[in-house]
Amino acid sequence: MPSQRNFLFAALLTVTAAVPAQIDRESNVPVQFQTLVNASAVDIQSWSAQGYRISNFEVVTPSPMSLKVSLVRNTGPYQASWLFVHDKTYAELVQSIFANNARPVDIETWDDNGVEKFSALLFTNTGQQQKAWHFHHGLAQGTVWSTVGGMGHRVIDLEQYLDNGVWRYHAISIANTGPDLKAWWVYTNTTVAGVQSNMQQLGARLYDFEGTTGLTTVASCVLVADDITSRTYWGQVVSPSFDLDDQMGGRVAVLDGYSLGLSCVTLIDSLDPFTEFGTGCAASNGTGFHTAVGNALTGTQISFRGQNLVPWTIAIAFFGEQTMNLPLAGIGMPGCTAYVDPFTSLNVFANQAGTATVPIDVPANPALHDALLVSQVVGLAPGLNALGLQATNGLVTRLRHW
């Protein structure tokens, strides 16, 4: 087992040039994720061996090392060459950064008998991951916005700490330009109520949060305005049985403790709510295929699609709550299967490409959270079989209320 002092975990993977690197808190591309509480070095190594990497983390105890950590599968736009360093002085952290041509993504700091120590998630700063960045060390209260904004950057990670009774701040920033351009705000030496008020007034989402854990919380935060769907939960008790991410179908982007053992958790919607199953039957335009587009949140629209149907024909979209697996050879559709026990259906038309689209508005009803909607499309296919019909695969849609 590696020592806590010298723990340096590396997963160096090639980044394909065609896949642009994204900051995890700025991506809602569906990805597999995990949240660990009280994770050790061995836990992180185990999950990395399964293809995951750290996305963000909080230090629970420096020694023995214990983390609250959000993991993502290291693939697609989340693929990164990364390092995690723990229990380093500032000089040692800087040395690790430059020795590995890396940039810090998430840092945590604590006092070790008068010596400031760091843990940090680092990305190698090359190729598609390369960004102009800066590590602002020990900024004074009231200077974060002017310092970072003055150089055309924005904060992607903020760490507050007391220095002889005076609040100071470490900030990681990147150039606020091109695809990374965002409206952003930073607030320091405020309260939880102040953070919540600013989020509401600005119509912004919580990007990063720092809070003290005493009776009175001193809070700092970074807010951004963009099109990423997220939800922040206050007053959470984050124990080893934590499953808010699974319950809500959202990836943990922010997790930080504040007053009396409570935590702030921000989830980003990066779940694929659609699960295809079964196989469609083939007609003149190919094998019938059924999919959908949307996030399946209440109050939004889902676009269900039947594809590879016979062009310019009538189709029927069936919807139900239960799956089934009923071969249809007995009624004259050999090779086709019914996958849904329907409670309703809608008539649609396949266009020139053989695609039939069914837009469904999901009511903003909290009772629909975690409901499953099963669907299948059947289209006219003259001459295919005795009934002249073609069926697609089945589709299960998980509805969620945020």
Q: What is the pLDDT of residues 307-358, one digit of tens each?
A: 999 999 999 999 999 999 999 999 999 999 999 999 999 999 999 999 999 9
14 pLDDT exceeds 50? Answer: no
Residue numbers of the domain that contains 303: 274-398
The gap from C-alpha 9 to its chain's centroid, in whole angstroms, comes to 23
Domain boundary, last residue among 252, 271, 290: 271
Same domain, 135 and 125: no
In terms of domains, do 215 and 330 share one?
Answer: no
Asked if residue 267 and residue 141 are part of one domain, the reply reads: yes
**What single string gives the DSSP state of each residue in 255-295?**
EEE-GGG-EEEEEE-----EEEES---EETTEE-EEEEES-
pLDDT value of position 124: 95
Clarify whether residues 96 and 160 are in a common domain.
no
CA distances from 55 to 10, 33, 35, 68, 213 (A): 14, 9, 10, 11, 23
What would the two tokens of residue 81 be?
A: 């060459």
Domain total in the chain = 3
For 145, other C-beta atoms within 10 Å of its C-beta total 17
Domain CATH code at residue 349? 2.20.130.20
- Judging by beta carbons within 10 Å of its beta carbon (0-12, 13-18, 19+), is residue 279 exposed, middle or buried? middle
Instruction: Say what percent of the chain tops pLDDT 70.
Output: 95
Q: Which of 91, 109, 129 is the last residue of a domain?
A: 129
Q: Are residues 343 and 310 in the same domain?
A: yes
Does residue 265 contact residue 208 with C-beta atoms inside 8 Å? no
- Judge if 144 and 240 occupy the same domain: yes
Average pLDDT, the chain: 93
267 in the same domain as 312: no
Q: Which of 169, 212, 207 is nearest to 188 (CA)?
A: 169
Do 8 and 23 share a domain, yes or no? yes
Same domain assignment for residues 117 and 10: yes
Q: Which two structure tokens, joined as six digits, stand for 386?
A: 């005795």
Whether residues 229 and 326 share a domain: the answer is no
Alpha carbons 178 and 333: distance in angstroms, whole number: 54
Q: Which long-range contacts (CB under 8 A, 24 or more apart) does 113-116 make?
A: 115/89, 116/89, 116/90, 116/161
The string of pLDDT tens digits covering residues 348-389 is 999 999 999 999 999 999 999 999 999 999 999 999 999 999
Do 292 and 371 lie in a common domain?
yes
Residue that finishes a domain, picked among 245, 271, 297: 271
**First and final CA of the chain: distance in angstroms?**
41
CA distance 225 to 233: 18
Both 255 and 151 in a single domain? yes
Q: Is the pLDDT of residue 11 over 50?
A: no
